[in-house]
Amino acid sequence: MIYTLLICRYLGKKSYSFSLNNVCILYLESIKYAMKHNRVSVIGAGNVGATTCYALLLKNSTAEILLSDINQDLCEGHVRDLSDALPFSDTSKVFSADLKEAGKSDVIVITAGAAQKPGQTRLDLVDTNKKIIASILEQMQPGSGSVILMVSNPVDVLTYHAQNILKERPHGKTFGSGTYLDTQRLRGELSSLLKIGESSIHAYVLGEHGNSQFVAWSESSVGGKPILDFLESNESMKRDIAEHTMKEAYEIIAKKGSTYYGIAACITEICESILYDQKRIFPVSCRLEEYNITLSMPAVIGENGIEKIIKLNLNPDEMKLFENSMNQIRPYL
Ligand SMILES: NC(=O)c1ccc[n+]([C@@H]2O[C@H](COP(=O)([O-])OP(=O)(O)OC[C@H]3O[C@@H](n4cnc5c(N)ncnc54)[C@H](O)[C@@H]3O)[C@@H](O)[C@H]2O)c1
C-alpha cells in the first residue's frame, strides 16, 4: 500500500486505489516513466550550442543530446569531442542529425545565428537572425509535443517571430531565455553585497534582454522581507547595480569575444524544468497577449513550456521602464 501511494505521488496522480490490478498498472507506468528517453536538440554548434551540450552532459540532464549546424564539420567535431565525455555522464548518446530529426525532440534549443561583435547591440543582429530562424523552423517542422527554447539574439524579437511562424502551436510552447541570465547576474551581485546566497535572493531583471532591461526592485525580496529594506532605498546604489548587470555582457564580449558559460548553465536549468516537469519559475521571454509583445516576465515552466505567467505589480516607475522596453523592441517585430 505504501508502495502504491509512493508511485501515485511520483506520477502525480490524485486518487489512490489499492486493487491488485491498479498496483500492477501503476508499477508498469512508473517503470515506463523512469525509462523515458528524453532528448534535447541543440541547433547551432557555436560557442553557446557546444557549451550547452557540455553542461547538459555533465549535469546528466537528459538521455540524448542531438546537435545540428549548417557547418557539418564543426558539428561532427563537437559531437566526437563531447562523446569522449560520455563515460563521465548518465547521458547515453550525443549525435548529429538534420533539423527534421531534431524536430522530434522533447526540447529544442535554438542557438543558431550571428552573435554580437564588440560594439554591436543585440538588436543589430535582427535581420540576419530572423532569416536564419525562419529557415530553421521551416525545415524542422517541430512536433506538437516539443518545447522550443529560443536563445539566439535579439531573443525577444526572435521569440515573437518564431511564435508567429509556428502559429498552430500554443505560444507557451515557444519561449526565450530572456532575462534569466541577467537575473542571475543581478542575484550574484546582490549576493556579494548582502552576503546572502543567490538562491535566497528573489529579484528579477525584466523587460528586454538588452539595453532597456530593468530591475523590478519593488517586487524583490530576501527571506520574506522587501529587498529595499536591505539596500536602504539607496537610489544611486540601485542604479549602479542595474547598470552593471546590463553592461556585463558587453564587458565580457570586449574581453573575450563572446559569452557562453552563464547562458549554457541557464539553458540547462530551463531544460530540466521542462523535462522533469518541475514547474520552477524563471524570468523568460514570453508572449504578453494583452500587449501583443514578447518580453521577460517570471513564468512557471513545466513539461508544456510556459504554464503560467506571473503578472507582477510593478510600481509606476517600473511600469514606465517596462513600457520603454516595449517601445524599444516594437519597431523590430
Ligand atoms: N540569450 C542569451 O542570453 C544569449 C547569450 C549569449 C549568446 N546569445 C546568442 O546566441 C547566438 C549564438 O551565439 P554563439 O556565440 O554560439 O555564436 P557562434 O557564431 O559561435 O555560433 C553560431 C552558430 O550558428 C550556426 N548557424 C548559422 N546559421 C545556421 C542555420 N541556418 N542552421 C544551423 N546552424 C546555423 C553557425 O554555423 C554557428 O556555428 C547569438 O545570436 C548570440 O547573440 C544569447
Q: Please, what are the averages of pLDDT over each run of 10 residues along the chain (333 residues)?
A: 52 55 59 67 98 98 98 98 98 97 98 89 92 97 96 97 96 98 98 95 97 96 92 84 96 95 98 98 98 98 98 95 97 95
Pair 110, 43: CB distance under 8 Å: yes
How much is the pTM?
0.90
Minimum CA distance residue for ligand 1 atom 42: 115
Strands (E) in 234-304, as ranges, are: 280-288, 293-302
Question: Ligand 1 center to residue 50 CA distance, Å?
Answer: 10
69, part of any domain: yes
- Return the beta strands (E) in the chain as ranges: 39-43, 64-68, 93-96, 107-110, 147-150, 174-176, 201-202, 205-206, 214-215, 221-222, 225-226, 280-288, 293-302, 305-309
Which residue from 177, 317, 298 is spatially nearest to 238, judged by alpha carbons? 317
Domain assignment of residue 286, given as a range:
180-332
Bridge partners (DSSP) listed for residue 281? 300
DSSP assigned state of 117: P
Do the Cβ atoms of 199 and 277 come closer than 8 Å?
no
> Of the residues 171, 202, 209, 244, which is catalytic?
209
- The best mutation among 109, 152, 158 to test binding of ligand 1, ranked by most ligand atoms within 8 Å of the C-beta, falls on 152
From 151, 253, 285, 294, give the residue whose CB has the most ligand 1 atoms within 8 Å, as the site to mutate: 151
Nearest one of 216, 221, 198 to 206, comparing CA atoms: 216
User: What's the mean per-residue pLDDT of the chain?
Assistant: 91
Contact 45, 78 (CB under 8 A): yes
Query: What's the gap in Å between 15 CA and the centre of ligand 1?
Result: 46
Is residue 159 in a domain? yes
209 annotated active-site: yes
Residue 230: give its domain's CATH number: 3.90.110.10
Same domain, 322 and 197: yes
With a Cβ cut-off of 6 Å, ligand 1 is lined by: 43-49, 69-71, 74, 111-116, 125, 129, 132, 135-136, 151-153, 155, 177, 181, 209, 258-260, 263
Report the number of distinct structural domains present in the chain.
2
* 190, part of any domain: yes
Q: Which of 176, 203, 222 is the last residue in one of the domains?
A: 176
Q: Is residue 311 part of a domain?
A: yes
* Domain CATH for 121: 3.40.50.720
* Same domain flag for 247 and 268: yes
Res 35: pLDDT: 47
**6, part of any domain:** no
Q: Does residue 296 fall inside a structural domain?
A: yes
- Does residue 24 form part of some domain? no
- Specify the 3-state DSSP secondary structure of 297: strand
- For atom 21 of ligand 1, the residue with the nearest CA is 46
Which residue reads 550571428 in cell numbers? 114
